Structure 1
Amino acid sequence: MTYVAGKVWLVGAGPSDPGLFTLKGKAVLEQADVVVYDKLVGQGVLAMIPEKTERIFVGKVSGNHPVPQQEINQILLREAQKGKQVVRLKGGDPFVFGRGGEELELLSQNGIAFEIVPGITSAVAVPAYNGIPVTHRDFVSSLHIITGHTKKSDEAEIDYEALVKLDGTYIFLMGVASIPKICAGLLGAGIEPDMPAAILERGTTAHQRRIVSDVSHLPAEAEKAAVKTPAIIVVGKVCALAEEFHWAEDRPLGGLKIAVTRPRDRSSELAQKLALLGAELVLLPAIETKEIENNDALEEAFHHMNEYDWAVFTSPVGVEIFFNKLRAMKKDIRSLASLQFAAIGSATKKSIEEKGILVNLMPHEYSGKALGELLTQTVLQEEQERSRKVRLLIPRAKIGTEDVLKPLAAAGIGYEDLPIYDTIESSDCENRMEQDIDYVAFTSASTVKGFVKQTGLTDFKHIKAVCIGKKTAEEAENYGMQIIVAKEATIDSMLECFKQLAH
């Protein structure tokens, strides 16, 4: 049998929360040429796929298979035979009623190399996120995972009498449509009518729902609540512990789903802090930053750095590009010894000080206008004391706010407005604005513009926009969004804003 260079990784993505995705799964995802994925894979995990990687959506959900299983098998084979590194990304664990074995059969028959990366199964994770331990020594001694349907039948043939005799916790996957039959089967097999039972919808997400009842009343309660897939059924004494052990919704942002629009390379701080507070995140990088290549003006500035008195930075990305170029020119911070440094806000200040340089000036209000006014006041005083003109270097975006420049120009202060990067609209968030997002976080006016152009929406009145400052809020308001403005133009102030909104 002839082997090809291509290979397939069968990767379990977990139930939805990207924090439950395994380290190995993430590492494999980052080196893939093509990713074949299902609808049940969480958006947070999909956001980990590199932009260059080809994506093939096969859209499987319970009861709806627009791409038949046999065709999915053929896709995996076809892509691997092209010599590609293929990731088959599946919700939950691929070997727990995930058809993983079926997808490997054709690969094995054709000599395609493969690896299995197990995922956290929803059978355990979803009850845990609802405060239900699937095992507990005071209640049960066994755990049983049952599918609600099989390959040959929409309803699985279950030996309810054998199950009930085991006196354990029963987890039914893909059984929402069969709730009445499942509960009737258990009751007919002699389970106690008041045995605690629960149905858990959209587990591990911000909008997860938990309906706890008993076997006798669960079907009626589920119908009343209009439960939809994805959901799992849990039957057993441990369900009664949910009232005491629930925790996910109790976190500061536990019930919020938030879209983050910062550029992909600068979203980590905001995203990490939101996630630690319990929010479910949708990463929609509305803009990208791109260094201006062959920047003769920046190189020229480095050759004449002693002619400047101040270096003024308006963003962390500007700091990174500036110092990367400095290193590329075989120079270090000693060549900046004559400069004082100004930063627009705390994040930019942090970026500068990470280079070993203390920031001399930062406004209390983190805005271009406040920075420009403070610089003007400071520089005019310096010029009077030194009896000479002071010159500023302002490395920043090609298209940036004029607010920082207007006070300087009005006062006759000399400066060089030096473009070192461009801000472009990202195509990464196109048509991915999900209907159940609670808030969208905007950290600049440019992220608002990028969001508007890339989401495919025409009406923004329903968008609840949490904005980092007044300029950002003004841009969002232009499109009719509902505006919430952080008290200070900082990430931490935005976090406090979200905390207040959650209560």
Structure 2
Amino acid sequence: MSDRRGSVYLVGAGPGAFDLITLRGADCLRQADCVIYDALVNPDLLQLAPSQAELIFAGKRRTGGASIAQGELNALLVNRASKGKRVVRLKGGDPFIFGRGGEEADALARAGIHFEVIPGITSAIAAPAFAGIPLTHRKLGSYVAFVTGHEDQNKAGSKRVPWRELARAARNGGTIVVLMASTRMAASLTSLTRAGLPAQTPAAAVQWGTTAAQRTVVGTVATLAARCARENLTAPAVVVAGQSVKLREHLQWFEKLPLFGRRIVVTRTREASTAFARELRTLGADAIEFPTIETARPTSYAALDEAIDHLDQFNWIIFTSATGVDAFIARLKVLRRDIRAIGHASLCAIGPATALRLEQYALQVAAVPREYRAEAIVPAIGSERIRGARILIPRAQVAREILPELLRDHGASAVTVAPAYRTIKPLPAGLQRMRELVKARQIDLVTFTSSSTVSNFCDLVGDVEGLKAAAIGPITAETARQHGFEVAVSPASYTVPALIEAIGGFFARAS
């Protein structure tokens, strides 16, 4: 038991999209000892929590599955915080908008537990926005009302939803938003029409708003429920009634993005996957970060340290990745060596990302092969400059031997391979979910940037026969095929930007 004071953070996870949680909410997750989360929370957000954090599923499942009763949930929050834990209560949308966050805060206050509320973007605003429906508009509506579709039927009459007043507001330019609306959609809309809202008032239902699974059905308050039934539009859904719904026809934007509706897995290291996934999400994809590779210290630094002690003896240093550059420079710093010690050698970088990383350290690159793989090194440097040269290759501990062998075959007098880092297979968060998605073939594309990411992915999730893959280069593509993938995307240029562009082109042709 920790002696520190426990705290509970009631965090709004946002409407569903991974990147719509607030910065403060994400920071709370990163520091959590315990996360208690609901079914509508994007499961990828759980990867932000420390690997040792306790994860507790609270339920609130739309399918009616098992959930923790609210009283038990309140007691659980008090229990964990009383043990000195930093508890994140992760709730879909905003904790205080139809999320029973007020009840949980009240229980914590009564128990003397310190708590904070981190607001979230509610689906009441976000889902219509992603469907192209502004809730207010200067010419159409100046006010908006949020209504629950799951009202407590035991409330006193004076505290019930005032449908008559809402209908009057909507007739005069207001917008009505009904949350948790799908199961009682017909009843809610009928309540509005009976209260005087014209049957022809525009209305829309948005399911899974802000996510790649978003669907929107448009009608009127009289026809919407039947249309949703025909389209099998179920929970979670937000219903909007009001004149601003008409604007969707020319304001819809999210569903027009080139990768909308596509679920794409990113398997790079956690550090590298974030920017990659961000680019995919910008294009509308449901990008799942599932790192299948991590970098670690090599088993021994002996070879690298020896090489650094004699840097002035090398004519060339060949870097095969940006990771290798970072590891090499980091070791220089540990050994307290001046970066100018590299100055005697010419530098070769495989790929523009590697070259850019060297340039960020103010190191000039003498050669970058046209093809970003080992086999293209010889023509890039030139056979005459390889002959008799002493060459250093700081790289991963386990890598193909083709590059050192090629250099020796072309007359290099000495080729020193010095492990600067090693790659390991992690146990990524969300493994069970990924296995379920793979088994159900509910993934549109898996992206790979090295052969290691391919083999590790297959080791982790099992049978991948027939799944589509995007591979950054021919070697990675061949590894993917050997494991049973259908390689659907392989860019001519072996870079991540080219891979993203090729992915966009592939789905454009497929649609």
Question: What amino acid is aligned across from residue 161 of structure 1 in structure 2?
Answer: R
Partner of 1:106: 107
Q: In the alignment, is the contact (CA less than 8 A) between 1:43 and 1:282 conserved in 2?
A: no
Query: Residue 480 in 1 paired to residue 480 in 2?
Result: no
Q: In the alignment, is the contact (CA less than 8 A) between 1:443 and 1:468 conserved in 2?
A: yes
For 1:301, which of 303, 307, 310 is the aligned residue? 307
Q: In the alignment, is the contact (CA less than 8 A) between 1:160 and 1:185 conserved in 2?
A: yes
Instruction: For 1:252 and 1:224, locate their aligned partners in 2 and report how far apart those are by CA, in whole Å.
Output: 27
Partner of 2:389: 390
Q: Structure 1 length as normaliser, TM-score?
A: 0.92
User: In the TM superposition, what are the counterparts of 1:11-410 in structure 2 within 5 Å?
Assistant: 11-62=11-62, 63-151=64-152, 158-167=161-170, 168-292=174-298, 295-371=301-377, 373-374=378-379, 378=382, 380-382=383-385, 389-410=388-409
SS in 2 for 1:47: helix
Instruction: For 1:145 and 1:437, locate their aligned partners in 2 and report how far apart those are by CA, in whole Å.
Output: 35
Q: In the alignment, is the contact (CA less than 8 A) between 1:370 and 1:404 conserved in 2?
A: no
Instruction: For 2:108 and 2:76, locate their aligned partners in 1 and report how far apart those are by CA, in whole Å.
Output: 11
| Aligned-CA RMSD value | 2.1
Query: Residue 467 in 1 paired to residue 468 in 2?
Result: no
Q: In the alignment, is the contact (CA less than 8 A) between 1:16 and 1:44 conserved in 2?
A: no
Change in 2 beyond 3 A, CA 1:393/1:54: farther
Instruction: For 2:386 and 2:479, locate their aligned partners in 1 and report how far apart those are by CA, in whole Å.
Output: 36
Deviation at 1:153, TM superposition (A): 6.7
Deviation at 1:322, TM superposition (A): 0.8
Q: Cα deviation per residue 1:70-129 (whole Å; 9 max; x = unaligned)?
A: 232222212111111111111100000011012122221221101111011100011001
Higher deviation after alignment, 37-46 or 257-266: 37-46
Q: Cα deviation per residue 1:299-324 (whole Å; 9 max; x = unaligned)?
A: 12111111211111111111111101
SS in 1 for 2:324: helix
SS in 1 for 2:432: coil
Q: In the alignment, is the contact (CA less than 8 A) between 1:16 and 1:43 conserved in 2?
A: no
Higher deviation after alignment, 220-229 or 474-483: 474-483
Q: Cα deviation per residue 1:273-329 (whole Å; 9 max; x = unaligned)?
A: 223333231111111111226512221211111121111111111111110110111
SS in 1 for 2:59: coil
Query: Residue 9 in 1 paired to residue 9 in 2?
Result: yes
Change in 2 beyond 3 A, CA 1:383/1:344: closer
Higher deviation after alignment, 308-317 or 63-72: 63-72
Partner of 1:411: 410
Higher deviation after alignment, 31-40 or 442-451: 31-40
Question: What amino acid is aligned across from residue 411 of structure 1 in structure 2?
Answer: H
SS in 2 for 1:193: coil
**What is the aligned-residue identity percentage?**
38
Deviation at 1:215, TM superposition (A): 1.2
Higher deviation after alignment, 29-38 or 333-342: 29-38
Change in 2 beyond 3 A, CA 1:297/1:43: same
Higher deviation after alignment, 344-353 or 399-408: 399-408
Partner of 2:443: 437
Instruction: For 2:411 and 2:238, locate their aligned partners in 1 and report how far apart those are by CA, in whole Å.
Output: 69
Q: In the alignment, is the contact (CA less than 8 A) between 2:128 and 2:135 conserved in 1?
A: yes
Q: After the TM superposition, which parts of structure 1 deviate over 4 Å for at least 4 consecutive aligned residues? A: 151-154
Q: Cα deviation per residue 1:179-231 (whole Å; 9 max; x = unaligned)?
A: 22122222222221111111101100123111011111111110111112211
SS in 1 for 2:10: strand
Instruction: For 1:482 and 1:143, locate their aligned partners in 2 and report how far apart those are by CA, in whole Å.
Output: 49
Q: In the alignment, is the contact (CA less than 8 A) between 1:200 and 1:209 conserved in 2?
A: yes
Q: In the alignment, is the contact (CA less than 8 A) between 2:167 and 2:193 conserved in 1?
A: no
Q: Cα deviation per residue 1:249-275 (whole Å; 9 max; x = unaligned)?
A: 223333433211101011133223223
Structure 1: gaps (5+ residues): none
Instruction: For 2:455 and 2:373, locate their aligned partners in 1 and report how far apart those are by CA, in whole Å.
Output: 18
Q: In the alignment, is the contact (CA less than 8 A) between 2:454 and 2:476 conserved in 1?
A: yes
Instruction: For 2:65 and 2:247, locate their aligned partners in 1 and report how far apart those are by CA, in whole Å.
Output: 34
Deviation at 1:365, TM superposition (A): 1.0
Change in 2 beyond 3 A, CA 1:4/1:47: closer
Q: Cα deviation per residue 1:394-443 (whole Å; 9 max; x = unaligned)?
A: 11111112332331233342211111211111211522323543221111
Instruction: For 1:87 and 1:360, locate their aligned partners in 2 and report how far apart those are by CA, in whole Å.
Output: 51
Structure 2: gaps (5+ residues): none
Question: What amino acid is aligned across from residue 160 of structure 1 in structure 2?
Answer: W
Deviation at 1:353, TM superposition (A): 1.1
Question: What amino acid is aligned across from residue 402 of structure 1 in structure 2?
Answer: E
Question: What amino acid is aligned across from residue 437 of structure 1 in structure 2?
Answer: I
Question: What amino acid is aligned across from residue 93 of structure 2 in structure 1?
Answer: G
Query: Residue 491 in 1 paired to residue 496 in 2?
Result: yes
Give aligned pairs, total: 491
Question: What amino acid is aligned across from residue 166 of structure 1 in structure 2?
Answer: A
Query: Residue 449 in 1 paired to residue 455 in 2?
Result: yes
Instruction: For 1:424 and 1:74, locate their aligned partners in 2 and report how far apart those are by CA, in whole Å.
Output: 40
Change in 2 beyond 3 A, CA 1:52/1:342: farther
Deviation at 1:159, TM superposition (A): 3.7
